Amino acid sequence: INKDFIVIPKSVTPARIDGNANWELKLNDKQMAQLDSAPQKRLTDFPFRPGGKFFFFSEENNLKTITKKLNDGTEMPILGLGTWQSKPKEVEEAVYHAICKTGIRHIDAAQIYGNQDEVGTGVNRALKDTGLKREELWVTSKVWMVDFAPEDVGPAIDRILKELQLDYVDQVLLHWPSCFDKPPKDSSPGKYPEKWAGTEDPMFPKDKDGNLLHRDVPLSETWSAMCAEKKAGKIRSIGVSNFSKAEIEEMTKGGLEMPAVNQVEAHVFWNQAKLRKEMEELGVAVVAYSPLGNSGFHGEKSGISSDLVAEVSKESSLTPAQVMLNYLINKGFIVIPKSVTPARIDGNANWELKLTEEQMAKLDAAPQKRLTDFPFRPGGKFFFDESEK
């Protein structure tokens, strides 16, 4: 009232109604000044504006609009929607909801996910219905290992563009640092030539004994072909996924451009401290996949289901998922949490950074263990060092 407001306190309790009305103005200047210094935070807001935007949400703190400038000059949104393990009929609606209702402007896809055409349909429906310009949306895809031979990179990019129904892709990554020996195009399971006799899925070529087949292609040759596709205008930004510093340095020998990003597994329980420092030295941004620890894939007590994350969630008034995303964003990661559930997609995007230095330190002390690795190197070797496990 001293600030000239008209006030409408709500109550249904007679004593409280009386108490709210039967008193005299008493606060002095000193007391008013004390109250003026209170920390300020809006409590009420709703995502009722077009595109799922909140009425009062500060654009400065809106995670959906914050971008990170990459070494190639492009601006990549720091929060995206992951689509790995999203079922085809669900992923289209998830992508559409993320763009139209939640306001997310970054979609992460890949050849190997097997749902890229549905992702493309969701993206194009959203562009049409929202009136967004194509350049207002960031779409990433990845080339699978059967297409790492230089002559296969261009056709792989063309298939990505066709599936996504786009004229260009914002970013394309090399998915893993190894090259498979691609089966002949005109063959099918049960009819492959002897060399590929054990192949059931052409994305995973195998010999008659079930061993994965590899081709000796230097990563620098694959990367050179990627650079050419970027120069041709099909891609705005190129990067890698699951690469080590040594592999990036070997790949870019001879003056080839540095990848803009390295997309890797990262979460509270595998915070990639060493790799983050190495990528910073190279000027490569780090994108975190499985940022919530993927408890459904790796076990119920990992990731957002852990006691540690629950404790910090209670302290910070963030959800467990928001705690894990906040942690990674504070560390400089770009994050791509995956969900097909509208409420979870919204929850992963509509919040503000809140973790304190003390809470960050508490999460820093979490036990570290890599969750994702595959025996896809020649000889059935895993990608990452056994010492990490």
Predicted pLDDT at 53: 61
Q: Is 253 exposed, middle or buried (0-12, 13-18, 19+ CB in 10 A)?
A: exposed
* Token representation of residue 388: 């990490």
Q: Strand 75-77 vs strand 67-69: parallel, antiparallel, or unpaired?
A: antiparallel
Question: Do the bridges between strand 75-77 and strand 334-335 make them parallel or antiparallel, or are there none, so unpaired?
Answer: unpaired
What is the distance of C-alpha 136 from the center of its chain?
Answer: 17
Q: Which residues pair with 338 in a beta bridge?
A: 82
Task: Give me the pLDDT at residue 113, please.
Answer: 92
Residue 315 vs residues 302, 310, 321: alpha-carbon distances, Å:
19, 9, 14
**Phi-psi region for residue 148, left (φ > 0), alpha (ψ -120 to 50) or beta?**
alpha
d(CA 237, CA 91): 24
Nearest to 350 by CA among 130, 119, 51: 51
> Which residue type is seen at 232?
A
Give the helix/strand (H/E) hosting 343: helix 342-349
Total residue length of the chain: 389
- 96 has catalytic annotation: no
Reading the chain (389 residues) residue by residue, the pLDDT tens digits are: 999 999 999 999 999 999 999 999 999 988 988 888 777 777 787 767 775 566 765 555 678 889 999 999 999 999 999 998 777 789 999 999 999 999 999 999 999 999 999 999 999 999 999 999 999 999 999 999 999 999 999 999 999 999 999 999 999 999 999 999 999 887 777 778 889 989 889 999 999 999 999 999 999 999 999 999 999 999 999 999 999 999 999 999 989 999 999 999 999 999 999 999 999 999 999 999 999 986 554 454 567 889 999 999 999 999 999 999 999 999 999 999 999 999 999 999 999 899 999 999 999 999 999 988 999 999 999 999 754 44
| pLDDT of the residue at 387 | 46
Q: What is the pLDDT of residue 192?
A: 83
Q: How far is CA 105 from the centre of its chain?
A: 11
How many CB atoms sit inside 10 A of residue 263's CB?
27
The one catalytic residue in 113, 192, 289, 327 is: 113
* Contact (Cβ atoms closer than 8 angstroms) between residue 107 and residue 115: no
